[in-house]
Structure 1
Amino acid sequence: MRGPLRDHHWKTLLTARAIENTFFVAAADHPPPLEVKHSMIMDPQGVMLAQVGTAADVAVACVDLAAVEWGRYVNPPLELRRYRVTA
């Protein structure tokens, strides 16, 4: 069931997944009665490219791999990984 702030949490988590993975994210919502009603496509910097609101519909967006390269240039998470922890 829909809970308080669920649509906000959904959008926030999708944005975070796109940014941390520096890749496009396409997310389909659940059917009624569990729906949040925000299926969407995010770019590698967490910008929403397309969204389906409260109606049943299809979201379409252009996936440009240059956007992935640019996203990884301005936010290089793979280069910032640390494989060991020191005390």
Structure 2
Amino acid sequence: MSYVRSLLGDYEPRGKLVQGVGKFIAFGLDDPFHVTTVTGLAVYGVGKMMERRTNYGLRMAKMDVHATVHELNKLVNDIRSLRL
């Protein structure tokens, strides 16, 4: 079962929520002593470390291909709308 799970991979990179919380703490909560800035950047760093361990499998590949096709369609439509 773990082979199938590793083949499928994750739906999204791990640690994205932790990174968002870290950014909010670092830049959203500002104090004169900069304790929240240091804490927020540390939490963001932990989220980046978690992101490196993401299993890139079929699920994320499918989402990346879908996003690329969507971007290509947008570009083709933009090119079609140009009047020369």
TM-score normalised according to structure 1 size: 0.29
Q: TM-score, normalised on structure 2?
A: 0.30
The structure whose residues are more often helix, as a share, is 2
More strand by share: 1
Larger radius of gyration: 2
State the structure with bigger RCO (CA 8 A, min sep 6), 1 or 2: 2
